[in-house]
């Protein structure tokens, strides 16, 4: 049986470590206020398929009820865990950009590779890459120490694997 939390290059489960660090940090602002992505073509089709499968509750957090319902975003809880599908290639994953980090921590589970970025305010940004569309999940610092962040990513992993095929954007 596959281990659900593959160890990163630093010897600790990367997401668990990042989320635990986040729990003790100060608040971040604006994760829920980020602009909705505007993917086109096949990326948009994959994101629509994912959106159709997103649950009304995630890790015990109720889904937001913003109107109109955004096509490529979703949120759960307050403070909100925010998912955005079809984001442009992040600079931190772009070779040659000022933000690129070839040794950035990654975590794999269920066939999804997550890039994990600790944000200055204490929240965690996770990006599912090596898929036909990038999926970004912001986990507020408030969920870092209680395991909710890990549960969120675990529950989303199966949905992403089922709706967005492997590939490179």
Question: How many angstroms separate the Cα of 2 from the Cα of each of 5, 29, 128?
Answer: 9, 36, 19
- Regarding pTM above 0.85, the answer is no
- pLDDT per position as a tens digit, 28-42: 344 445 678 899 999
Q: Give residue 150's pLDDT.
A: 82
- pLDDT per position as a tens digit, 149-167: 788 989 999 999 999 999 8
- Token code pair at residue 131: 């898929």
Task: Read off φ and ψ for residue 62, nearest 5 degrees.
Answer: -80, 145
- Is residue 3 over pLDDT 50? no
The percentage of residues in the chain with a pLDDT greater than 90, rounded to a whole number, is 44
Nearest Cα to Cα of residue 127 among 104, 96, 103 = 104
Check whether the bond before 103 is cis (ω within 30° of 0).
no
Q: Give residue 48's pLDDT.
A: 96
- Token code pair at residue 143: 């969920």
The strand pairing partners of 128, in sequence order, are 114, 135
Q: Give residue 66's pLDDT.
A: 67
Q: Which residue has the higher pLDDT, 13 or 147?
A: 147
25: pLDDT confidence band, cut at 50, 70 and 90?
very low
* Average of per-residue pLDDT across 115-129: 89
For residue 120, how many other CB atoms are within 10 A of its CB?
8
Q: Is residue 14 a part of any domain in this protein?
A: no
Q: Is residue 23 a part of any domain in this protein?
A: no
Q: Is residue 3 a part of any domain in this protein?
A: no
* Dist CA 5 CA 150 (whole Å): 9
Q: Is residue 134 a part of any domain in this protein?
A: yes
* Dist CA 148 CA 152 (whole Å): 6
By the 8 A CB rule, do 99 and 88 touch? no
State which residues form the domain around 61.
36-163
* Secondary structure of residue 41 in the 3-state scheme: helix
Q: Is residue 130 a part of any domain in this protein?
A: yes
Q: Is residue 8 a part of any domain in this protein?
A: no
Q: Is residue 15 a part of any domain in this protein?
A: no
Q: Is residue 168 a part of any domain in this protein?
A: no
* Count of domains observed in the chain: 1
């Amino acid at each position: 049986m596959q281990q659900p939390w593959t160890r990163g290059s630093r010897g600790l489960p990367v997401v668990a470590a990042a989320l635990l660090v986040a729990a003790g940090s100060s608040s971040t602002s604006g994760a829920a206020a980020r602009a909705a992505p505007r993917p086109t073509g096949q990326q948009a089709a994959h994101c629509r398929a994912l959106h159709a499968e997103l649950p009304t509750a995630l890790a015990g957090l109720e889904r937001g009820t913003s109107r109109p319902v955004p096509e490529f975003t979703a949120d759960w809880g307050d403070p909100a865990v925010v998912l955005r599908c079809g984001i442009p290639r992040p600079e931190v994953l772009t070779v040659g950009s000022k933000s690129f980090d070839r040794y950035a921590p990654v975590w794999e589970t269920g066939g999804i590779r997550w890039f994990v970025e600790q944000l200055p305010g204490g929240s965690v940004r996770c990006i599912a890459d090596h898929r036909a569309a990038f999926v970004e999940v912001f986990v507020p610092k408030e969920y870092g120490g209680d395991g909710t962040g890990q549960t969120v990513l675990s529950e989303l992993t199966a949905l992403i694997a089922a709706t967005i095929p492997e590939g490179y954007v």
